[in-house]
Structure 1
Amino acid sequence: MGAAGSGFGSGSGSGRRRAPSMADVAREANVSGQTVSRVSNGRDNVDAATRDRVLAAMSKLGYRPNSAARALRTGRFRSIGVIMFTLSSFGNMRTLDAITTAASAAGYSLTLIPVPHPTKGELSVAFDRLADAAVDGVILVLEAHLFDESEVELPDGLPAVIIDASGDERFPGVDTDQAHGARLAVQHLLDLGHETVWHVAGPDRSYSATRRRDAWAATLAEHGASAPPVLEGDWSTEAGYELGLELAANPAVTAVFAANDQMALGVLRAMHETGRAVPGDVSVVGFDDMSESSSFWPPLTTVHQYFGEVGRRSVEALLHEVEAGERRANSLVDVELVVRQSTAPPRR
């Protein structure tokens, strides 16, 4: 006959280990059960050394707080949902990274639902999935025109923040100051002496692209400069290259403002291949300030976006509504023009 089980919490017959309890963690950390509860619920009224001891005990024993029971006690799941239009863009990935960091620091987990085609049906499905995941609020990172057209209402009582939004007063919005960034780019090129600035725009359905295009045209008009025809791309390097070939074939082109750095990179390649020197013949400005932009050849003059600040503010605004029941006003994050070697005065 085999020996009786003698391990921690072994059950009769099944051989399974009993899941560690809050009381087990309290004994291991030599603290009260109330202190373990406070740490589990993300409360801040526990000193750092005690919190570290409790967390170490949880890790050692493999303790997992019961999120359902905690939600019943507190009325919150300590979870945020994120619905995102695309995961492929530089800006969205940087923003998502900042959202994840800020949520984790506040003691919240994250549920991400990509919605590649935010139609009414797909957004409704995404909201249903979030309801099943039991979240306290949602951050939407969507192309605003598509969101408006879908006519989707958020579930009643679910706090929401929209990033890259059109200023819909129903929901707090956080965004980069797109218009100011475009004005900085165009003003820089005009100040260098270029008579006008050509624009490689993002897709018309994109709110960000629309704001940048409108500010480009307005800045030219304010300076009495004619606005050349807009060349519309899809944010990709390939689109920038194809449109750059069109621009390179036109000797009147001396300055180009691309709506993002990826398309600007495509424009640079087209200019190099066709023998148009940058910045000797053509100056190029981008928008985003990707980490690689300083290593383009030549290093790219571009508009720096603070994606980390956008993500942090979105989480801050959402949790303020979740925890205090108050909606924050819309927030615009400023930008900065970073001047590098891809721009210069035109040749005379």
Structure 2
Amino acid sequence: ELFVLINMAQSYDVDEQLKAIMSWLYQFNPILKASNKGLLSFYAELEPKFHSEGHLEKRVETGTDNLLYRIKTFLVSLFVTPFEVFPFSGKTISFWDIKNVIFSEGQEIYNQFAPFIMTNKLDALIAVYKKTMDEHIILCQKNKHICKWLTHYQSTLDWYQLVEAGDLSKMDVYWFDPELLFHVLVHFRLINKSLGEKIVNFLDELIHTYAQNNNEFQIQLRVNILFSRFLKSLDEQQRRKLILTLSLFDPVEAKSKFLTNCIHYVTNRLCQISMHQLDSSPNFFGTYQCIDSKKLLINKTDVKQVSAILEAFKEMLHSLEERCNPEQLENMLIFLRNISRPILTVAEIEEAQQSARVIDYIGAPT
């Protein structure tokens, strides 16, 4: 109706129609609010109506949920914030295969959380977080001059301030259900071709993480740390667009479709990986072919976990051994092995590297 009105208009007076659209978008989801500062008064008038119509309970999480969200984003921030530290004074913290160099007090703080991340004890994480807020975060904010003398870097002070305010989104640190991230990014990739490779790399790692036997919180934390790193690699407009898109999808629906989404995604990846040139000699008009997706069918009845999905695909590919190009088959199996192999911890990776050096040294020719 608005476009028809604009087409037939003999003046520029379409303010009422535009306000109606802005009001509808805001009521649909507050994140769709226009960024124009001149509209602040317009949205201020909508707020009371928005609350009185029963939308508030849909927007505001319970106290416990909000606290858990703060804890989760707090932990993510420890691994994605590029903390500035004095030379030789930085401390390394690690989670699974991820590590970050932070200030010394940050290491003390993280070490209190680490045991309960490993055991998936959310109640204990809440208790540690409350203690951390009282003994470290709020105390630092009250004694900023002392903290500044101790840390010397504004970036660390900014982090303290945002943690206390519970506003780490200003550092592009968020927490989303991994199932929602997967559901949205599969669609987001189709309309953002330039981000295709980055999105595929992240989704591969998401599936790789879910193929592990670690507890649910560890899996969610690793995915969200990787997502924050992915988000920081985008430009501002891409970040804003993605966060907006994530807010418009239903997390419950995404969770219910997760395994189905994984099956479709892996099928598509295998098709891409199987692509090969048919001509014996490469030329400009060479013909390429990939495996027919109808051949990549697995029994969905018994698959209740991502690891089971990947094993089912491996078995299916082995059954195609006699009817499939050997190079195609090998490339597809390598992909499946890579996203299902165990993810080593930082300590295990370092130990393996040290062992490799010793072996190389002993085995070196004399």
Fold-level match, TM-score > 0.5? no
Interval containing the TM-score (normalised by the shorter chain) = under 0.3
Q: State the TM-score, normalizing by the size of structure 1.
A: 0.27
Flag the structure with higher strand content.
Answer: 1
